[in-house]
Amino acid sequence: MESISNLLVDWYDRNKRKLPWRTSPSPYRIWLSEVILQQTRVSQGLAYYNKFVRHYPDINHLAAASADDVMKLWQGLGYYSRARHMHETAIRIVREYGGCFPATYRELVRLKGIGPYTAAAIASIAFGEPVPLVDGNVSRVLSRVFADSTPVN
């Protein structure tokens, strides 16, 4: 009998969407996608992600931008504190880490606007740290796999 993890990985390999942050596992692009996609559908967030990458191709460009310019690009996504925190964190990473993202979950989660899920995504995808990523989608899949009727919210 095939393991659940193998079944899920096989399903993912067959059904995954081609998304730009998956082709380049840079911590900056993973972070950018995670911040944009909080409270936002991929169909809407993808255009914002592409716009941000065009304007700010790396953390140094984002940190050098004015807060007003970042907020203008963010317009329409809502939850404007995410954009402010993202900009402040970019400045901090450039100043305190020389423009290089901290490579561990423990360091990442200390940064403003980077919560447990986003820190785990960056640490595991960009740096290979074995940190579990459990969000609402993962919880829903697992509740179906195990026929658990406990609400995931």
Point out the catalytic residue in the list 2, 34, 88, 107.
Answer: 34
Q: For residue 34, indicate whether it is catalytic.
A: yes
Cα 115–chain centre separation: 10
DSSP states along 82-128: HHHHHHHHHHHHHHHHTT----SHHHHTTSTT--HHHHHHIIIIIH-
Q: What does each C-alpha distance from 24 to 7, 19, 27, 129, 135 come to in angstroms?
A: 25, 10, 9, 17, 22
Return d(Cα 44, Cα 51) in angstroms, integer. Answer: 12
Q: What does each C-alpha distance from 85 to 27, 29, 72, 145 come to in angstroms?
A: 16, 16, 15, 36
* Residues taking part in catalysis: 34
